[in-house]
Structures are given as structure tokens and as C-alpha cells.
Amino acid sequence: MLAKSIDDYLAMPYTIEVVRDESEGYSGWFARVVELPGCMTQADTFEELGEMIEDAMRVWIEVALEDGQAIPEPRPAEDYSGKFVVRVPKSLHRELVEAAEREGVSLNAFVNVALGRAIGSLQAVAAKPHPDHIPEPA
């Protein structure tokens, strides 16, 4: 079996998270590759971000190959059915049903939006560098 090249890896459908960064007077964009730990970049404009993340991926993969490290591949979308079961306290179930009724939507639709907002908030917080963090050179 032939070893994959950097371009082979770059052609794979990696998951890239993009967050608008407006912290500490800065206005720009932050991106990270979910499957490649530490592979991230930022850019002043959204248009610049695509090239910047590709450069970051190229360097990340090149260093991993040189060091003989395994390079994670993207997780196939088929691994996710879109369904899961969550057990919640009766009181929370009631609150969710009542909130969905107030909004005029199904419980499923309400929870879907609530989870999407919650994960978006968590990702925005996680994307902000810690004040004591010293960025690694790209």
C-alpha cells in the first residue's frame, strides 16, 4: 500500500470549525481542524481564512509525516445517525415542553435549536485563547 502524500490528506473532507473573533478589540476569524489537534489559524478577513487554514493543515501534516506520527483521517458522516436518547429529570422535561409550546414549535424542534445554540456558545468560548496562552508558531 502506498503512503498518502500531503496533497492526499488535504483533499480529504476534514471538519473545520470557523468562529468570528471579536475579542479584545480584534475583529477577525479563527479556524481549527477538529481531527488535527493543534491545527488552527486566524485571519483578518473570512476570505483570507481558507488559504490560511490550508497552509496550517499542510504544515501540520508535513511535520506529522516527518516525525512518523499517524495522521487522523476525517470521521465519516455516516457515523452519525442524527438520533440519540437523553434521559432528563421530569421537571426539565416539563420546562422544555412548556417552552416549546410558548414558541409554537415541537419539542424536537425546540431542543434541536437549544442544543445548536448551546454548542455554538461553547465553541466560541473554547476558541478564545486563554489570557496566559502563548501561541505556538505556525
pLDDT of residue 3: 83
Using one digit for the tens of pLDDT, what is the confidence trace for 76-97? 777 777 788 888 899 999 999 9
61, 73 in Cβ contact below 8 A? no
Across 121-138, average pLDDT: 58
Place of cell 491545527: 39
When comparing pLDDT for 80 and 126, which is higher? 80
pLDDT of residue 91: 93
Contacts (Cβ under 8 Å, ≥6 apart) of 92: none
- Cα 65 to Cα 74: distance, rounded to the nearest angstrom: 17
From the centroid of its chain, how far is CA 51? 17
Across 23-38, average pLDDT: 86
**Full-prediction pTM beyond 0.85?**
no
